[in-house]
Chains A and B, each alone.
Chain A
Amino acid sequence: AQSVTQLGSHVSVSEGALVLLRCNYSSSVPPYLFWYVQYPNQGLQLLLKYTTGATLVKGINGFEAEFKKSETSFHLTKPSAHMSDAAEYFCAVTGQDSSYKLIFGSGTRLLVRP
């Protein structure tokens, strides 16, 4: 069965610093990969997704992620953190089977210090 592991339930960075949120997946077939963001008291919003093609994916709000098949990773980065980036981030994976159901990681809460 597919699974997603997010390393670090909490990540704290200073405003202006690099943001790196880690995601590793287990899949026997090339997956589709997603990052979602959840702001307080809201539902999730799609940040970016990888399906096929270019392995470096750019998303909204300056975030990007790189699919590395050899490392089974899909880490999320942003060069310079902003206070408004404070939220919880979820990595998710689905397979190319008929169900296409998303499997979510346990989430990483990003704290941005002034």
Chain B
Amino acid sequence: DAGITQSPRHKVTETGTPVTLRCHQTENHRYMYWYRQDPGHGLRLIHYSYGVKDTDKGEVSDGYSVSRSKTEDFLLTLESATSSQTSVYFCAISESVANEKLFFGSGTQLSVL
């Protein structure tokens, strides 16, 4: 299995609080992605990174920011969590562009009350 670690695995927080999710990889892959998974919507891309300090928005980026200061770490921040951000968040990595194989982490279950 690809070395991808997401932390925390589960988090419960209150509306209006900041939340940061971490994705750590040991594969030295260039591309990293954050997806959210919701019933009936499949996976939707939030943000992605194509190198250190190089990031771009996905299809559902509002309310989220990301940072990548090192190749191995990709952080997703909810500046002020809302109940609509309750979801399962997945980090993924790929060695090159997305037509190559994506490796996924095990996910973070986030509940915003």
Contact = CB atoms under 8 A, between A and B. Distances in A.
Nearest to A50: B99
A106 B40 contact: yes
Nearest to B91: A43
A12 interface: no
Interface string B69-113: 000000000000000000000101000011101111111000000
B49 to A, nearest CB: 12
A44 B99 CA distance: 15
Interface in A18-37: 32, 36
Contact of B99 (A4, A32, A45, A105): A32
B50 to A, nearest CB: 9
Given A43-B90, A90-B42, A102 B106 contact: no
A42 B106 contact: yes
Contacts of A46: 101-102
A26 to B, nearest CB: 15
Given A43-B104, A44-B90, A44-B104, A104 B99 contact: no
B41 A100 contact: no
Contacts of A51: 99
Interface residues of B, number: 24
A41 B108 CA distance: 10
B42 A43 contact: no
A51 B98 CA distance: 11
A101 B40 contact: no
B30 interface: no
30 contacts: A6-B42, A32-B99, A43-B90, A43-B92, A43-B103, A43-B104, A43-B105, A43-B106, A43-B107, A44-B43, A44-B92, A44-B104, A45-B104, A46-B101, A46-B102, A90-B42, A90-B43, A100-B97, A100-B98, A101-B45, A102-B45, A102-B98, A102-B102, A103-B59, A104-B35, A104-B43, A104-B44, A105-B42, A106-B41, A106-B42
Given A41-B106, A94-B99, A105-B42, 11 more contacts: A6-B42, A9-B40, A43-B104, A44-B90, A49-B101, A90-B43, A99-B98, A100-B97, A100-B99, A106-B41, A107-B42
